[in-house]
Amino acid sequence: MQEYSSSVASSLPQLPKAPTGIEGLDEITEGGLPKGRPTLICGSAGCGKTLMGIEFLVRGIQDYNEPGVLMAFEETGDELAANVASLGFDLKDLQARKMLRVDHVHVDRSEIEETGEYDLEGLFIRLGHAIDSIGAKRVVLDTIEALFSGFPNQAVLRSEIRRLFRWLKDKGVTTVITAERGDGTLTRQGLEEYVSDCVILLDNRVIDQITTRRLRIVKYRGSTHGTNEYPYLISEDGIAVLPVTSLRLDHEVSDEVDSSGVPALDEMFGRRGFYHGSSVLITGTAGTAKTTLGAAFAQEVCKQGKRCLMFVFEESPQQLIRNMRSVGIDLQPLIEQGLLRIEASRPTVNGLERHLVTIHRLVREFKPSAVVIDPISNLISVGNINEVRSMLTRLIDYLKVNNITALFTALINTRYNQSEMTEEGVSSLVDTWISVRDLEGIGERNRGLSILKSRGMAHSNQVREFVVTERGVELLDVVVGPTGIVTGASRLTQQLQQHAQALAAQQETDRRDRELERRRRVLEANIANLRTEFESVEEELRQINTEEQNRQQTLSSGNERIAAANPPRYNAPSAGENNK
């Protein structure tokens, strides 16, 4: 159904749009401002209305080769050029190249004599000449209140406003008109927002002593658009609007796996690490080695020849390097090789949006393979839970779209035994959640680690005790006692007991082996004695047989001699016997 709706929407005619070139604004307007139509930008003082209009012109010239006209009613051309020079916008150069026309119109109500019908015909002629002289495609009028200050008659004022907007439409130029916000209305006159095809509202608010600028598209005729409030910043690169990126969740994924930097921890994952481009959250109480685990991951990424960007909110880079060196993690060589970059600042130095823009800028400049932020829970000091969650959602989406592995650490609130940025925060957004916590025993505290979730791969369900040594983080083997897994001194006691039991069992086995050997020797001795006795009897019987044979032979030989000495005698037959 969704694919069908998308195909139908893509086949329908789309409203022509003029890209602004302003980061994020084209995304939430789905392509830019209505081409050939007027757009109203309204807001209170300090919102950046003039700057947004000028950047619209400059980006149009630089990126889309569309000349523009800037007609200002409050500041001169030199003043405007000086104001935006720090952003890299050279208005004088653009004017010299005939790509930009800046015209300052001074309107002083005291100099206006209202004789009959006063109108803007002279302005139309002046603006039309400026447009035609350079073939302008874009026009900015800043600000409309100064233009209409000479109209005391409200009926004439409304008529002239409508005529101005109609004239701009007929001229076919994409126009941005800035206006001051009124009391209870979007503009001072309360009419401009009704005759404009697109209305963008800028707001500059202060919450808990922190300034936040927000943008909202009030209306956009003929086009869908983002309807939420979006934070935006004015930085050295101009205006940056921060919409939620990748709302459709259609970014590419990778089957590549990144090591955690702790071999035993990798063994707890079915794929021996995290998926590259995924997001990892490490939560725990203070002192549970969250920063150490983050530094170990950063070191492992750099060892693979990839770049890693670290943001730390609690330590300076020098302090972090010193502390990590004490546990066998030397970050200094990685920094010197250009593989690791550490950015450290207090969260309260900037608002949430400024932090987000800073991360975006450094990611674009450094092009890291992984980003570590330690800890995200400190951001609570510059915003509430919802604001921090929104900021982190945008950050996670941005890093996923760019296929960058993100590792966050968060501090657990020990009072409520829950993390300020897990259940209420980003635990449901991340792909892997690792919990490190204290395992309190009798008179001691130990550290334990467990994997609460890891999307897309099997993982261990054990709670593993670990220690931080001179060689880094080491996970200890699981020891099971009578009541379950034991740690610390109980673990050592259990190991000693197991060792003693193993030793006793070995000693018993050795004793049995010795007893068996003794019995074997006794049996062999008995067997030898019996064999000797048997041989004696056998020898005696053999002697008797020999003697009997000799006796028989002797007897037989004597009989033969006797028979030979006494041959048999034969008598002569008698006469009577012969006659028969």
pLDDT for residue 398: 85
- The fold of 257-477 is Rossmann fold (3.40.50)
122: helix, coil or strand? helix
The pLDDT of residue 332: 94
Q: Answer whether 87's CB lies under 8 Å from 50's CB.
A: no
Homologous superfamily, domain 7-111+118-241: P-loop containing nucleotide triphosphate hydrolases (3.40.50.300)
Structure confidence at residue 4 (pLDDT): 38
pLDDT score recorded for residue 134: 93
pLDDT tens digits along 329-340: 999 999 999 999
Taking 60 as the threshold, does the pLDDT of residue 375 lie above it? Answer: yes
- Region 372-383: mean pLDDT is 78
β-pair partners for 343: 311
pLDDT at 530 over 60: yes
- CB-neighbour burial class of residue 155 (10 A; exposed 0-12, middle 13-18, buried 19+): exposed
Do residues 147 and 15 make contact, with C-beta atoms less than 8 angstroms apart? no
Based on its alpha-carbon atoms, the radius of gyration of the chain, rounded to whole angstroms, reads 49
Q: How far apart are CA 479 and CA 8, in angstroms?
A: 62
Window from 22-31, 120-129, 273-282, 489-498 with minimum mean pLDDT: 489-498
State both tokens at 136.
């302008």
Q: Active-site positions?
A: 74, 314
- The alpha carbon torsion through 170, 172, 176, 182 (nearest 10 deg) reads 20
Confidence of residue 102 (pLDDT cuts 50, 70, 90): very high
> In the structure, what pLDDT confidence band is assigned to residue 100 with cuts at 50, 70 and 90?
very high
8 A C-beta contact, residue 242 and residue 354: no
Residue 464 has pLDDT above 70, yes or no: yes
Residue indicated by tokens 């673990």: 491
> Contact at 8 Å (CB) between 353 and 383?
no
- Average pLDDT of 349-365? 78
What confidence score (pLDDT) does residue 423 get? 45
pLDDT at position 8 is 38
Structure-token match 């983050």, residue found: 294
Burial of 422 (0-12, 13-18, 19+ CB in 10 A): buried
Return the pLDDT at 160.
Answer: 77
The length of the chain is 580
- In this structure, are residues 317 and 311 in contact, taking their beta carbons and an 8 Å threshold? no
Q: What is the pLDDT of residue 314?
A: 86
pLDDT band, very low/low/confident/very high, at 441 (cuts 50, 70, 90): low
Greatest Cα pair distance in the chain: 215
For residue 111, pLDDT over 60 is answered with no
**pLDDT per residue over 127-175, tens digit each?**
999 999 999 999 999 888 777 665 666 677 777 778 888 898 899 999 9
Q: Which pTM value belongs to this model? A: 0.67
Which residues sit opposite 219 in a β-bridge? 199
Number of C-beta neighbours around residue 555 at 10 A = 10
Cβ count near 405 (within 10 Å): 28
